[in-house]
Amino acid sequence: MYSDKVMDHFQNPRNVGEIEDADGVGTVGNPTCGDLMTIYIKVKDNVIEDVKFKTFGCGAAIATSSMITEMAVGKTIEEALAITRNDVADELEGLPPVKMHCSNLAADALHAAIDNYKEKMGEKKPGDRCKDICSCGK
What are residue 24's DSSP bridge partners? Answer: 41
Catalytic pick among 58, 102, 130, 136: 102
Rounded CA gap, 54 and 131, in Å? 24
102 is catalytic: yes
SS3 16: strand
Query: Do the bridges between strand 47-56 and strand 36-44 make them parallel or antiparallel, or are there none, so unpaired?
Result: antiparallel
134 is catalytic: no
Q: Show the CA angle centred on residue 18, arms to residues 13 and 23, nearest 5°.
A: 125
What are residue 16's DSSP bridge partners? Answer: 53
Strand ranges in the chain using DSSP code E only, listed in sequence order: 24-29, 36-44, 47-56
Catalytic residues: 33, 102
